A and B are shown apart, each in its own frame.
Chain A
Amino acid sequence: MNSPTTQPAVRASGLVKSFGDHRAVDGVDLEVHRGEVFGVLGPNGAGKTTMLKMLATLLPIDGGTGEVFGHDVATEPHLVRQLLGVTGQYASVDENLTATENLWLFARLQGLGRAEARQRGARLLEQFDLTEAASKPISAFSGGMRRRLDLAASLITRPPLIFLDEPTTGLDPRTRGQMWDTIRELVTEGSTVLLTTQYLDEADQLADRIAVIDHGRKVAEGTADELKSSVGRSTLQLQLVDPSDLPTASALAQQLLGEEPTLTPESRRVTVALQRTDQSVDLLVALRDRGVAIESVTVQKPSLDEVFLALTGHDTGEDTGEDTAEDTADQPTQNTQNTQPQDMEASR
C-alpha cells in the first residue's frame, strides 16, 4: 500500500533483543524520516549499540521488526546492506593495512573498479584530512584519525542511510566540531543519519529529532525543544542595573506571574518560572512603566540535562555528579551553563 518513496528511512516496531534473561532492547519503536538526523540518546548500557546492530543486520532480531527504506532487515539483509553505511562504536578498519589500503579494500569489495576505487579512496582521505597519513599503518593512528578513517570507509558508496554509533566519543572538542560539520554535510547531500550519543549537547546540536532510551526502552521522543518543554517550564532571568530595584521587581513578578521569584542580590538577578513564555512581556512592560532599568533579559528553556534526569531518573554520567536532583529542579538555569560553553567550544 505504501509506494516505496513514502517509506521512512528506518522503521522499527517492537524491537527486542535478549541476552539470556536480560532484555538489552525491550520493545523499541522508531521511525527515522528521510533526510533527517535522528539521535538516540541514552546512558551506558541503555541498548543503543544493540539496537543499531540489529537494524544494521549485524545481530539477529529476537522480536519485532525493522525496516530500512521499506526493506525488512531480517528477511532482506542483502538489500538493506546496499543502502547502509555503518560506523560502529569501535573502529572497524583493518589494523594491518594502511589507510589507503583499507579504503581500496572496502571499495573493491563493494564492486568499484580499480581506477575508481583508487580515486574514491584518495578523495575521501583528502576530505577527512588523512592524506599525510595515507600510507602509515593504522596502528600508528590517533583515536581521532581512526574514527575519521572509519567514517570515510562507511561513505565509499555514498549510502543514503548512515548509522553512527557514538561518532564523537573520545574526540577532542576541535575534532568533535569537525565531525559535526561532516555529519551536517552528509545531510545536506541528502543522506539520512541515525546516530547514538551519550552527549546531550551533541543531540541538541545535531539531531532533528531525538529518542531517549533507557534500560532498553524508549522513554521519550521528539525534537530537542519538544523534549525540553515536556519536562519543565521556561524561566525568565532579569539582571537589573540598580540593586535597590530588586524588591520592586520581585513584587511585580510575584503579582503578575503568580510565582515566587528567586533573587540573587550579588549579581542583581531575578529569576522566575514562566507558565507561558509570552508572560515575560507583561513583566517587562510593567517594569519599564515603573522606571526599573534592566541590564539583560534571558528566557531559558530547561536544558536536555534536566530532561534526561527527569525522564530516566539518573544522570547521563557526562557531568561528574555535581547536580543533584533537587538543585536541578529548583534552578533549571544552573545546568544549562554546564553544557552551553561546551557547545561553543566544540563548534569553533
Chain B
Amino acid sequence: MTTLSPERPDTVDLAPHVSLSDTISQTMTLAWRATVKMRRSLEVMFDVTIQPLIFTAMFAYIFGGAISGDVGSYLPLIIPGLIGQTVLTACVATGVQLRTDLDSGVFDRFKVLPIARIAPLAGPMVADMLRYLIAAVLTFTVGIAIGYRPGGGFAGVAGAILLAVVAGWSLAWIFTFFGLVGRNAQGVQGISLLVMFPLTFLSNAFVPTDTMPRPLEAFAEVNPVSLVITALRDLANRGEVTGAVGWALVGCAVVVAIFAPLSVRRFKKM
C-alpha cells in the first residue's frame, strides 16, 4: 500500500490481504526494531553470554567425572546438550519480552496497521536468532577452551550452530504462545520455567535417556529438545548430516506448526 488520498477513499485500490513478500518485509522491519531495542538494553544479553560461560565450565567439571569417568570424554556429550539448554533458556526470554512489549502500548498501533498479524510476533523472534547464535558460539568456544575437540571439524560445528539457531527460533514459538496467554511478565516467566524444566531435564541434554523410568524415557525420546541435541552431537562430533538431523527438523516443524497458528489466533483475539 502507498499513500492514500484523503479525499477519495473509494478510488484507491485496497489490498484484500497481506502478500507473502509484504509479510516478510514487515517481519524484517520489526526485527530491525527489536535489534535496536537490544542494542539499547544490553542486559537482555546476559542469558546468552554470562550463562554459557559459567554453565559450560561448571557442568563439565561437576558432572563430567560422575557420568563419563573424566571431563574430556564428557565434553562431546555435554557441549551440544548445553547449547540446547542455553538456547531454550533464551527462548523463555523471548516470551517474557513479548509480554512486556504487548503491555507497552506500541502494540496497539501494530494491531491497527494493515500488516500481517504474524509480523509483530515473528519480528522479535527473528531478531532473537542473534541471541541464539551468540549462545551457541560462546558455548562452543568455552568448550574448546577447556579441551573439547569437535570431531566434525569446522563445518560440523558451523552446521551445529546453524541448527541451534533454527531450533531456537522454532522452540521460541512455544514461549511466544505463553507470552500471549500470560497476564503479565512475571506470570509468563513462571509458566515458561514450568515448561522449560521438563523440556530440558526430560531430555538427553545431560544424561543418557535409557536410565530413566519407561514413561519418562518415552517422553525424552520424542522431546524435540532431545531430537535437536542428538542432531547437534552428530553434526559437531561426527560432521555428518544424519537421520537425526532430519528428525530434529521434523520436531521443530511440528512445534512451529502447532504453536505459530495458536499464537496468531490468540494475538488476533487480544
* Residues of A that sit less than 8 Å from B by CB: 4-5, 7, 9, 56-58, 60, 69, 78-79, 81-84, 86, 88, 90-97, 101, 105-106, 108-112, 153, 157-161, 186, 189-191
Contact A106 B6 (CB under 8 A): no
Contact B6 A84 (CB under 8 A): no
Contact A190 B106 (CB under 8 A): no
Interfacial chain A residues near B4, Cβ < 8 Å? 82-83, 157-160
Contact A111 B22 (CB under 8 A): yes
Contact A91 B105 (CB under 8 A): yes
Could you name 11 residue pairs across A and B whose Cβ atoms are closer than 8 Å?
A78-B15, A78-B16, A79-B16, A82-B4, A93-B105, A94-B33, A94-B104, A96-B40, A112-B2, A157-B2, A159-B6
Interfacial chain B residues near A84, Cβ < 8 Å? 112
- Cα–Cα, bound, A108→B3 (Å): 12
Contact A105 B15 (CB under 8 A): no
Contact A160 B2 (CB under 8 A): no
- Cα–Cα, bound, A157→B40 (Å): 29
| A108 contact from B12, B29, B36, Cβ within 8 A | B29
Q: In the assembled complex, how far is the CB of residue A33 from the closest CB belonging to chain B, in whole angstroms?
A: 13
Contact A5 B112 (CB under 8 A): no
Q: In the assembled complex, how far is the CB of residue A103 from the closest CB belonging to chain B, in whole angstroms?
A: 12
| A78-B17, A96-B40, A109-B26 given; A58·B108 CB < 8 A | yes
By Cβ-Cβ distance, the 8 closest A-B pairs, closest first, are A190-B7, A160-B9, A81-B114, A190-B6, A92-B109, A191-B6, A94-B106, A92-B108
- Cα–Cα, bound, A90→B107 (Å): 12
Q: Determine whether B265 belongs to the interface, using a CB cutoff of 8 Å to chain A.
A: no
What secondary structure prevails in chain A residues at the interface with B?
A: loop
Known contacts A82-B1, A97-B36; 12 further A-B pairs (Cβ under 8 A): A7-B10, A92-B108, A94-B106, A96-B40, A97-B33, A101-B33, A105-B29, A105-B30, A109-B113, A111-B22, A160-B4, A160-B6
Interfacial chain A residues near B17, Cβ < 8 Å? 78
Q: Determine whether B5 belongs to the interface, using a CB cutoff of 8 Å to chain A.
A: yes
- Cα–Cα, bound, A84→B25 (Å): 21
Q: Which residue of A lies closest to B119 (CB)?
A: A109
- Cα–Cα, bound, A160→B112 (Å): 15
Contact A4 B3 (CB under 8 A): no
Name the interface size band of chain B. Answer: 35 or more
Contact A189 B36 (CB under 8 A): no
Interfacial chain A residues near B107, Cβ < 8 Å? 92
- Cα–Cα, bound, A78→B26 (Å): 15
Contact A158 B6 (CB under 8 A): yes
Q: Determine whether B269 belongs to the interface, using a CB cutoff of 8 Å to chain A.
A: yes
Interfacial chain B residues near A160, Cβ < 8 Å? 4-9
Q: Determine whether B62 belongs to the interface, using a CB cutoff of 8 Å to chain A.
A: no
Q: Determine whether B37 belongs to the interface, using a CB cutoff of 8 Å to chain A.
A: yes
- Cα–Cα, bound, A58→B109 (Å): 9
| B112 contact from A9, A86, A112, A157, Cβ within 8 A | A86
From 21 to 51 in chain B, residues with beta carbon under 8 angstroms from any chain A beta carbon are 22, 25-26, 29-30, 32-33, 36-37, 40-41
- Cα–Cα, bound, A186→B4 (Å): 13
Contact A157 B3 (CB under 8 A): yes
Q: Determine whether B266 belongs to the interface, using a CB cutoff of 8 Å to chain A.
A: no
Q: In the assembled complex, how far is the CB of residue A73 from the closest CB belonging to chain B, in whole angstroms?
A: 12
Q: In the assembled complex, how far is the CB of residue B104 from the closest CB belonging to chain A, in whole angstroms?
A: 7
| A81 contact from B5, B29, B108, B112, Cβ within 8 A | B112
- Cα–Cα, bound, A56→B112 (Å): 7
Q: In the assembled complex, how far is the CB of residue A161 from the closest CB belonging to chain B, in whole angstroms?
A: 7
Contact B109 A93 (CB under 8 A): yes
Q: Which residue of B lies closest to A111 (CB)?
A: B1
- Cα–Cα, bound, A94→B111 (Å): 14
Contact A90 B105 (CB under 8 A): yes
Q: Determine whether B66 belongs to the interface, using a CB cutoff of 8 Å to chain A.
A: no
Q: In the assembled complex, how far is the CB of residue A309 from the closest CB belonging to chain B, in whole angstroms?
A: 33
| A82-B114, A97-B36, A110-B113 given; A88·B108 CB < 8 A | yes
Contact B14 A79 (CB under 8 A): yes
